[in-house]
């Protein structure tokens, strides 16, 4: 696209970015909701994009308790494959910019909460501190019988599916469709959304609830909302800023 001055303009206009940057600087409380898109530039496939299929299965078919009951081996193979990709991946400039924004805001005495739907831990690795994980953590496993949760960093898994020391099957410690979100994480996400003056929605299709509803919660509590996504999403309608483009390019421009 050719900008008004005849130079090449990529991504959102400079004045839109500048206006959001000013709002972020002025805010004493910021919350961000991230989704799979924030890790796309690290080489991790999103759920609903063209690259979201694994073998012939859609994520919607695999990320359910029913799929796991029917075929734990298949579901674990999918997680094993994703764990392998995630292990090789590095946080991208989008993850790093969010960690820097938090560092800057908290050093000024403000609040910054990162609410993520991602299970990949790339925000942790980029240095974010206050992270609320709504959909669990791919490096944790839980026994389906005794409930014991432990970390399992093995890639690829030596035993597929993995078993607990009690002998029962383990599952990934993540939230599947039809399952409740961890209640403490949900409380913290609601609190941060209600308190935020600026609410960032980054790299999510905003189709999965209740996470997608947080933007509405924030908006109703008085926050201004910014959406960062290369594609239009439903949330753009309630957004004060819509920044079309990849988060790895846009978020560093907000600093």
Q: Which residues bind ligand BJW (CB under 6 A)?
A: 35-38, 40-41, 46-49, 52, 59, 63, 117, 119, 135, 174-180, 203-205, 207-210, 229-231, 233, 246-248
Q: Please, which residues have CB within 8 angstroms of residue 99's CB and are 6 or more apart in sequence? A: 123, 126, 127, 128, 129
Q: Do residues 139 and 153 lie in contact, with contact meaning Cβ atoms separated by under 8 Å?
A: yes
Partner interacting with residue 37 (select from ligand BJW, Zn ion, none; CB below 5-8 Å by kind): ligand BJW
Instruction: Tell me whether residue 91 or residue 246 sits nearer to ligand BJW (CB atom).
Output: 246
Smallest gap from Cβ 12 to ligand BJW, in A, equals: 12
Pairing assessment for the beta strands 136-143 and 170-174 based on DSSP bridges: antiparallel
Q: Do residues 172 and 143 lie in contact, with contact meaning Cβ atoms separated by under 8 Å?
A: no
How far apart (Å, rounded) are the C-alpha atoms in residues 226 and 235?
9
Instruction: Tell me whether residue 153 or residue 231 sits nearer to ligand BJW (CB atom).
Output: 231
How far apart (Å, rounded) are the C-alpha atoms in residues 161 and 150?
15
Instruction: Tell me whether residue 75 or residue 196 sits nearer to ligand BJW (CB atom).
Output: 75
| Residue labelled with tokens 């991230």 | 34
Active site annotation includes 123: no
By CB under 5 A, residue 146 contacts Zn ion: yes
Exactly one of 36, 114, 143, 211 binds Zn ion (CB under 5 A); that residue is: 143
165-194 footprint of Zn ion as x/- string (CB under 5 A)? -x-x--------------------------
Partner interacting with residue 20 (select from Zn ion, ligand BJW, none; CB below 5-8 Å by kind): none
Pick from 219, 110, 249, 116: which is nearest to 175 by CA? 116
- Pull the structure tokens for residue 162: 């993995």
Partner interacting with residue 66 (select from ligand BJW, Zn ion, none; CB below 5-8 Å by kind): none
Q: Please, which residues have CB within 8 angstroms of residue 144's CB and are 6 or more apart in sequence? A: 168, 169, 170, 171
Smallest gap from Cβ 6 to ligand BJW, in A, equals: 27
On the 0-12 / 13-18 / 19+ scale of CB atoms within 10 A, 130 is: middle
Give the residue nearest to ligand BJW (CB). Answer: 37
Smallest gap from Cβ 65 to Zn ion, in A, equals: 17
- Greatest alpha-carbon span in the chain: 68
| Residue labelled with tokens 């910019």 | 97
Smallest gap from Cβ 140 to Zn ion, in A, equals: 14
How far apart (Å, rounded) are the C-alpha atoms in residues 176 and 199?
25
Instruction: Tell me whether residue 84 or residue 145 sits nearer to Zn ion (CB atom).
Output: 145
Partner interacting with residue 5 (select from ligand BJW, Zn ion, none; CB below 5-8 Å by kind): none
By CB under 5 A, residue 18 contacts Zn ion: no
How far apart (Å, rounded) are the C-alpha atoms in residues 7 and 1?
9
As annotated, the active-site residues are 135
**Which residues here bind Zn ion, judged by CB under 5 A?**
143, 146, 148, 164, 166, 168
């Amino acid at each position: 696209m050719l900008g008004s001055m005849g130079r090449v303009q990529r991504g959102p206009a400079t004045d839109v970015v500048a206006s959001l940057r000013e709002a972020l600087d002025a805010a004493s409380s910021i919350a961000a909701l991230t989704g799979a898109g924030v890790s796309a530039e690290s080489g991790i496939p999103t759920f609903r994009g063209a690259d979201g299929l694994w073998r012939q299965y859609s994520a919607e078919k695999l990320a359910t308790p029913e799929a796991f009951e029917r075929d734990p081996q298949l579901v674990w193979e999918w997680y094993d494959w994703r764990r392998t990709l995630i292990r090789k991946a590095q946080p991208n400039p989008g993850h790093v910019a969010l960690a820097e924004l938090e560092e800057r805001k908290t050093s000024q005495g403000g609040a910054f909460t990162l609410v993520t739907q991602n299970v990949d831990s790339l925000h942790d690795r980029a240095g974010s501190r206050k992270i609320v994980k709504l959909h669990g953590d791919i490096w944790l496993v839980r026994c389906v019988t005794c409930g014991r949760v432990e970390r399992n960093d093995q890639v690829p898994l030596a035993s597929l599916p993995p078993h607990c020391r009690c002998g029962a099957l383990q599952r990934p410690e993540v939230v599947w469709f039809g399952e409740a979100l961890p209640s403490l994480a949900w409380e913290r996400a609601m609190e941060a959304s209600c308190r935020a003056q600026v609410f960032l929605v980054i790299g999510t299709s905003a189709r999965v609830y209740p996470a997608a509803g947080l933007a509405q919660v924030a908006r109703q509590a008085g926050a201004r909302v910014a959406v960062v996504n290369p594609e239009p999403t439903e949330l753009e309608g309630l957004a004060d800023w819509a920044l079309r483009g990849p988060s790895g390019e846009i978020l560093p421009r907000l600093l």
